[in-house]
Amino acid sequence: MKKAVYIRTFGCQMNQADTEIITSLLQDAGHAMVSGEEEADLIVLNTCAVRENAVEKILHHLDRLRGEKRRRPGLLVGLIGCVPQYYREKLFSMSEGIDFLAGPDTYRRLPTLIEQAAGGARPVDFSLSTGETYAEIEPVRKGGVGAFVPVMRGCNNGCAFCVVPATRGRERSRPLPSVLHDVRRLNASGCREITLLGQNVNSYYDENCRCAFPELLDRVSRAAPDARIRFTTSHPKDISPDLVRVIASGENICNTIHLPVQSGSTRMLELMNRGHTREEYLERIAMIRDVIPGVTLSTDLIAGFCGETPEDHRQTITLMEEVRFDFAFMFYYSVRPGTPAARTLRDDVTEEEKKRRLNEIIELQNAISGERHAEAVGTTVEVLAESESKRSAARLMGRTKTNRVVVFDRGAAGPGDLVTVRIDSATSATLVGTPV
Ligand code: SAM
Ligand code: SF4
Ligand code: F3S
């Protein structure tokens, strides 16, 4: 029986891109997508297991859906993505009311799993693949100014704290012709911003075409000359001078790099198995800034990883002061059973201390972001308008090529337009300006 399906997406941009692929697969199988849980007779949660609180959020949502299921007989609930891949059948005892479970490499089988679930079975599929990239599936994108284009899946890095290698399996790259086909289509359809996605995009490699990430980025930027090109995430140990040169020379490639460092202490980086030292990271930053003047840099930081001493924490603070990131995602360490850290290291920083250290780095980053933004006051920037500003329909929100958020009076402009804006004021999160 065909279903009215609502997919709720948690977690990273890879999950958002997967939801667009799943939408395509389910529509091809005759199911219809609806715009809210109330209208659905199948609710699919596409889930994230990266930190404990991400999982709690999903279990909490499942609790709510259990009540819905009592009120609406016949309503099916499927759990897909990283949480089922991580917890497997155990989930059936962690939460009632789940009708099927499917990991990230099994989405082609979803129509079958749905049919079995509708027949009263509780099917599961946790197979991981070494080759699946869903390459030829045309994602059903929501529309809007930008689009995600996944270029690789999985991760071979094995950072000690991270579930992703377990939930997403081995690294594999989407064939170059399929990426270029997608990108050309997006360009022709008026897409203004393309973000290439992968857990570690620098290790992209198409064996048939002998194409690595710098060449891919160059080819994509030429194939979509009307769009801005972004990519995420890069791993510091793999960022090469070649790649940085491509970014600097590509007219439409955004001058911004997200380069997660996690910690400023070489001792921590070693325990985390990140494959580089503090000094090597700083050298890469200097190389990037040398080749791409005006580049903006963002990062991810973890406070309170196993064995982190006050001195290790201080090293994170001094690294932040030295680099002066424009933006950072900051977390306190959440032990994930089964990961290398959980198996071999002690989670010995108290929760209270983890939170104290996290607050300290958040405060510092807010101050640095504010100062960096203040430097932009008085300059004129080109903004790609994305949407109405949250606070006022008379204003638009957009981003500069360096990924800075700008809010400005809309005038005659609309989403998708490039607008030249003079920056009048700034907070740590936003620049505010006037079109000129
Ligand atoms: N592949 C990307 C990378 O290497 O940065 C992103 C990986 S992960 C989805 C995003 C961020 O979550 C990581 O960079 C890390 O800062 C954080 N993270 C991962 N595992 C964590 C854990 N167990 N506790 C706290 N933060 C974690
Ligand atoms: Fe996780 Fe490290 Fe892979 Fe990023 S590079 S997904 S943090 S294992
Ligand atoms: Fe979460 Fe899986 Fe992404 S664990 S961060 S949804 S790859």
- Ligand 1 within 6 A of 257 CB? no
Tell which residue, 257, 256, 247, has the closest CA to residue 220.
Answer: 247
Name the nearest CA neighbour of 179 among 143, 208, 136.
136
Please tell me the residue having the least CA distance from ligand 3 atom 1: 48
Radius of gyration of the chain (CA): 22
**Which atom, in ligand 1's list, is nearest to the CA of 161?**
23
End position of a domain, from candidates 236, 254, 272: 254
Answer with the one of 59, 93, 125 that is the final residue of a domain. Answer: 125
Q: Is the pLDDT of residue 393 over 90?
A: no
Cβ–ligand 1 contact at 168 (below 6 Å): no
Pocket of ligand 3 (CB under 6 A): 11-12, 14-15, 48-50, 81-82, 163-164, 167-168
| Ligand 1 atom at minimum distance from 48 CA | 9
Are 288 and 364 in the same domain? yes
What are the beta bridge partners of residue 332?
303
| pLDDT grade for 177, boundaries at 50, 70 and 90 | very high
- CA 369 to each of CA 239, 257, 433: distance values in angstroms, whole numbers, following the listed order: 24, 15, 17
Residue 56 belongs to a domain with what CATH number?
3.40.50.12160
What would the DSSP string read from start to end of 311-380?
A: HHHHHHHHHHHHH--SEEEEEE----TTSHHHHHS---S-HHHHHHHHHHHHHHHHHHHHHHHHHTTT-E
Return contacts of 334-339, CB within 8 angstroms, 24+ apart.
Answer: 334/51, 334/52, 334/53, 335/52, 336/49, 336/50, 336/51, 336/52, 336/161, 336/162, 336/163, 338/86, 338/163, 338/166, 339/160, 339/161, 339/162, 339/163, 339/166
Q: At what angle do helices 213-223 and 176-188 cross, to 10 degrees?
A: 30
Bridge partners of 148, per DSSP, are 195
> Are 234 and 208 found together in one domain?
yes
Residue 431 lies in a domain: yes
Closest-CA residue to 429 (of 322, 325, 327): 327
pLDDT for res 151: 98
- Domain residue limits at 342: 281-375
Q: Is 262 in the pocket of ligand 1 (CB under 6 A)?
A: yes
Pick the residue whose CA is nearest to atom 5 on ligand 3: 12
Residue among 228, 138, 207 nearest 217 (CA)? 228
Residue with CA closest to ligand 1 atom 11: 300
Which residues, in sequence order, are bridge partners of residue 211?
Answer: 206
Question: What CATH number is given to the structural domain containing 341?
Answer: 3.30.750.200
Mark whether 54 and 90 lie in a shared domain.
yes
pLDDT at position 329: 98
- 325 with 389, same domain: the answer is no
Alpha carbon 220 to its chain centroid, in Å, reads 19
Looking at the predicted structure, is the pLDDT value of residue 297 above 90?
Answer: yes
Give 21-49 pLDDT, tens digit per residue: 999 999 999 999 999 999 999 999 999 99
Residues 199-228: tens digit of each pLDDT: 999 999 999 999 999 999 999 999 999 999
The pLDDT value recorded for residue 251 is 94
Shared domain for 75 and 90, answered yes or no, is: yes
Total number of domains constituting the chain: 4
The domain that holds 232 is classified in CATH as 3.30.750.210
Q: Is residue 12 lining ligand 1, measured as CB closer than 6 Å?
A: yes
Instruction: Please say whether the beta carbons of 228 and 251 come within 8 A.
Output: no
Q: Is 152 in the pocket of ligand 1 (CB under 6 A)?
A: no
Residues 344 and 305 in one domain: yes
Q: Do 371 and 387 belong together in one domain?
A: no
Other CB atoms within a 10 A radius of the CB of residue 277 amount to 14
Q: Residue with structure tokens 């290291």?
A: 345
pLDDT at 392: 87
pTM for this prediction: 0.96
Q: What letter does residue 410 receive in the DSSP assignment?
A: -
Q: Is residue 154 part of a domain?
A: yes
Query: 136 lies in a domain?
Result: no
pLDDT digits (tens, 9 = 90+) for 222-278: 999 999 999 999 999 999 999 999 999 999 999 999 999 999 999 999 999 999 999
Among 254, 273, 295, which residue terminates a domain? 254
